[in-house]
Structure 1
Amino acid sequence: MKDVDYIIVGDGYAGLFLAHQLIKNNKSFVIFSEGRKSASQVSAGIINPVVLKKFTTFWKAQEQIDFLKDSLKEIESYTGENYLINAPIHRIFHDENEQNLWLKKSGNEELSAFLDKNFDSLNGVKNDFQTGKVNQSARLDVNGFFNGLFNYLEKNSHLIKERFDYARLNPSESVYKDFSFKNIIFCEGMGVKDNPYFSEIAVVPNKGHHIKVKLSQPIPENITIKKKHFLFPTGNGLYFYGGTYDRDQLHHHIDDSAVTQLVNGLSEFYPYDFEVEEVHFGFRPTVKDRRPIIGRHQTWDNLYVFNGMGARGILNGCYFSRDLFRFIENDIPLHQEVSSKRFQ
């Protein structure tokens, strides 16, 4: 029997940022990874403190941005790489009204640090009303982040590449197969619906598609362009464009209507030819009030859930992994806004 402090089930942003908390605090753990690409692994990796439809911000945006940057430096200390790409978002304005709204909002105390007052004109794309830059926005090198962390976890015997079998879990004895554990944390995204201990939590799947395209004419490389969706280079001469939001078409194959939506969206501001080389999709676990769901099982004190990261998986997964760790280790209460108890 192998003793560990923690078992983590799930290998998206929630699971990996939680693993970082355990590494940082010298806790013994294993993480179960099925080996399928999670929604996190096909995500855009956008780090953005602003809701770009309405030019508003969200709860704890500045704290989350600061905490993520610190955490990525800590992760660099053991993987040898920093996965932060300094490529700020430039939002293409649809019309003069949007320009004026942006300027007005940039005077707000909670938005002044994020909305740049100076507008830019970009080469290679249609931006008749210019673009607004989101200060402190960036991207995560998604492939680098997952590859680097999986390699580290595997090298240090933390990674178990198999599907977690709920039938083999005995919470009353704190035993799973040949592991005895203190705590087990389920970070499964939409996989939680198959989990007999937490299947009732209020997460709703939101299907997102993105396309990888080959552009016939270059665009600025060191930024992320946003109109309806995000456009940025991914290497190998390809560009990421996405992602869509769909709560209705939840089948597990590509939706042609989503691809059409993306092609039309890109054509609106990229006036040259482009070819769609790849199409990807995933299911984000979203929550009605746009807050994560974090908490302890009602019956078993050693079982926890960390879910509902939604479209802000990087910021939510990173920031709230610390809150969950402190809740378990130091009995520091969770914010009411993210506690699973708010739905009881």
Structure 2
Amino acid sequence: MICGITKISLDIYTKPEYFYSGFFIMKNIDYIIVGDGYAGLFFAHQLIKNNKSFAIYSEGRKSASQVSAGIINPVVLKKFTTFWKAQEQIDFLKDTLNEIESYSGKNYLISSPIHRIFHDENEQNLWLKKSVNEELSGFLDQKFDHLEVVKNDFKTGKVNQSARLEVSGFFMGLFDFLEKKELLIKEKFDYSKLNPSTGSYKDIQFKNIIFCEGMGVKENPFFSDIAVVPNKGHHIKVKLSEEIPQDVTIKKKHFLFPTDNGLHFYGGTYDREQLHHHIDESAVTQLVNGLSEIYPYDFEVKEVNFGFRPTVKDRRPIIGRHESFKNLYVFNGLGARGILNGCYFSRSLYQFIEENIPLHEEVSLDRFK
């Protein structure tokens, strides 16, 4: 037992099943996953946990998930509100990361609570007022703190149960595990080779296929019309001249925290207009100015990254089955809460497919019909 979670058996993956079809030997598996972001990897975990055979297709490019901040946050920090099923999602994520540790050898959860810098006394008072609300009392700490080095004249409020995921370690660790088990296929998925009527793709016979492609879904002929909108986010990695507290994640306009290579992450921006596939200098300027507001010392920008979050107008994921092909599914629209949404709703999708448990109306693809 690890943290109360039973170790997961991996025996099924050492003996792939084959059968003859004409002149070809075809691999027979339960699932194909297309996409290697949070949606794809957390759904893969559900399959590992339930001893299902699968293959996951990865183009080898860094997805929006892989350049994300990895923030795990149950509070909307502009208005000091929470969101649907926040506590359930936090609890489920912790259990899931414990389960992943049983085969990856590491727990990727970083205990680094968010400290929100207050703009003024009005924000302090609003925080305290909302901290007694039943749905927020477990998240908004009533004791204010003053941090060294950064500007926080009105102190900071700590978000209890907030944390970070070690993003690079999470993806490297799971990719390494999947590759060793020969479950990771490093190539672009070719839709022209998919025959959903026979449940076949190239030399693979499958029961179900899950498309977890983020904004790549717009190239998918089966789900290209789902209501996801790209939201471009930039972040910078900087070298600070004066060290800040290492055990917290600082937030005012954006998030600031240390990375594992001596640099600090600062970001990210939100942009639905400038959607070209290169760095937007105005976004970099926005980040540099935002960091300068809270960090009064010299710093040097060492790296700039960006990605396209798949967002939905009602801020809920899009999960469901194709209208005509009942073995095709989509898992998308995770938005800025990719870790929590990807983890929690991977189970919902698995139970929908395997146990015929209906999806929540709030996340079902059918809500757009």
Shared fold (TM-score greater than 0.5)?
Answer: yes
Among candidates 54, 70, 76, match of residue 79 of structure 2: 54
Partner of 1:144: helix, strand, or coil?
helix
Among candidates 29, 40, 43, match of residue 65 of structure 2: 40
Among candidates 138, 143, 150, match of residue 113 of structure 1: 138
| Mapped partners of 2:261, 2:339: distance in 1 | 24
Supply the AA of the counterpart residue of 1:54.
Answer: K
Superimposed CA distance per residue, residues 259-295 of structure 1 (whole angstroms, 9 cap, x where no aligned partner): 0000000000100000000000000000000000000
| Mapped partners of 2:261, 2:340: distance in 1 | 27
Among candidates 253, 265, 274, match of residue 249 of structure 1: 274
Residue identity (%): 81
Matched, 1:193 2:218: yes
Supply the AA of the counterpart residue of 1:69.
Answer: K
Partner of 1:325: helix, strand, or coil?
helix
Partner of 2:282: helix, strand, or coil?
helix
Match of 1:100 in 2: 125
After superposition, where does 1:310-321 map in structure 2 within 5 Å? Answer: 310-321=335-346
Match of 1:6 in 2: 31
TM-score, length basis structure 1: 1.00
| Mapped partners of 1:133, 1:196: distance in 2 | 45
Superimposed CA distance per residue, residues 159-206 of structure 1 (whole angstroms, 9 cap, x where no aligned partner): 000000000000000000000000000000000000000000000000
Matched, 1:64 2:66: no
Superimposed CA distance per residue, residues 276-335 of structure 1 (whole angstroms, 9 cap, x where no aligned partner): 000000000000000000000000000000000000000000000000000000100000
Match of 1:230 in 2: 255
| Mapped partners of 1:141, 1:235: distance in 2 | 9
Supply the AA of the counterpart residue of 2:120.
Answer: D
After superposition, where does 1:170-319 map in structure 2 within 5 Å? Answer: 170-319=195-344
TM-score, length basis structure 2: 0.93
Match of 2:174 in 1: 149
| Mapped partners of 1:56, 1:179: distance in 2 | 47
| Mapped partners of 1:53, 1:312: distance in 2 | 15
Partner of 1:67: helix, strand, or coil?
helix
| Runs of 4+ residues over 3 Å off in structure 1 | none
Q: How many residues matched?
A: 344
Match of 1:25 in 2: 50
**Structure label with greater radius of gyration:** 2
For residue 235 of structure 1, report the CA deviation from its aligned partner.
Answer: 2.0
Partner of 1:235: helix, strand, or coil?
coil
| Mapped partners of 1:174, 1:336: distance in 2 | 28
Matched, 1:325 2:355: no
Supply the AA of the counterpart residue of 1:30.
Answer: A
What are structure 2's unaligned runs of at least 5 residues? 1-25
